[in-house]
Structure 1
Amino acid sequence: MINPTIFFDIAMDSEPLGQSSETTENFHTLSAGEKGFGFKVSCFHGIFPGFICHSGEFTCYNGTGGKAIYGEKFDDENFILKHMSPGILQFKFFICAVKVEWLDGKHVVCGKVKDSMNITEAMVCFGSRNGKTSKKITFAECG
């Protein structure tokens, strides 16, 4: 499967913010919950305005755990794609709120927000310098 499109319905305190779309097999499978685990109802445990919205950790829900469809960990595939614009997606994962080229070669890019970047921009408003969110931001639905 090359460049599959998946969706996330993002909610703030259970109120829908909108729907966005992204890519990659692991990401797709975790989004769809095809293995019995994944992103649905997990949260964004860190939102850093002017930087990233951090999520994708659905085992401890605080950024310390993690799991992939391939097991606990899997090797970085490559560093071909770059952190060249807002909307870049990376695993454990985070959505870049701005261009973050200094992350190139350190984190594998796995996709890019296809539409609805305004949802990421709205989420950033509820973050802080230390990443703590003022509202609970979750994946209300995904697939």
Structure 2
Amino acid sequence: MSVTLHTSLGDIKLELFCDEAPKASENFLGLSASGSYDGTIFHRNMKGFMIQGGDPSGTGRKSKSMWGGKFEDEIDPEAKFVSRGQLAMATSQANTNGSQFFITYAEAPHLNQTCTVFGKVIHGDEVLDKMEAVPVGAKDRPVADIVLKSTTIHANPFAD
């Protein structure tokens, strides 16, 4: 299962862990298929840590799942933040998954067992390099918008 994020800085292809994190994967695919991510910005960019997006308001304060509310974490004891390019749900506290996600720039062991890891980058590491290099202002917001223009779903095991 894979999805390509078409961003203003280039394409990033992601492999989703549909078996390990089925709800997070289905949510990401559903929001992608409905166009909910189209035209959104990556609102938080922390060099050496991660880039975050998926908020339709662009503020980092809104996050609604494809089911309309929040859903529970899917914490796999084997899923650890050990490398660059891991895809995870962004939450404010336990069991508050909505639409927001992040991609790591480096290992982040302090997040182990706190966020649902549901994929990884399989192509586009050079785009992650470009994203990480974008200067930020207050609250780690990129000074120039990094836009998630659209997504391409290469196969959806949850589609009817």
TM more than 0.5: yes
Match of 1:31 in 2: 32
Deviates more, 1:103-112 or 1:79-88: 79-88
Match of 2:51 in 1: 53
TM-score (normalised: structure 2) = 0.76
Aligned counterpart for 1:71 among listed residues 63, 68, 84: 68
Give the number of aligned pairs: 131
Match of 2:140 in 1: 131
Q: Secondary structure at the match of 2:140?
A: coil
TM-score (normalised: structure 1) = 0.84
**1:100 to 2:96 alignment:** no
Superposed CA RMSD: 1.5
The answer as to whether partners of 1:79 and 1:104 remain within 8 angstroms in 2 is no
Aligned counterpart for 2:13 among listed residues 9, 17, 21: 21
Partners of 1:38 and 1:110 lie apart in 2 by 18
TM-aligned CA deviation for residue 78 of structure 1: 2.1
Shift of the 68–52 alpha-carbon distance from structure 1 to 2, 3 Å rule, reads same
Deviates more, 1:64-73 or 1:20-29: 20-29
Any gaps of 5 or more consecutive residues in structure 2?
17-24, 90-99, 153-160
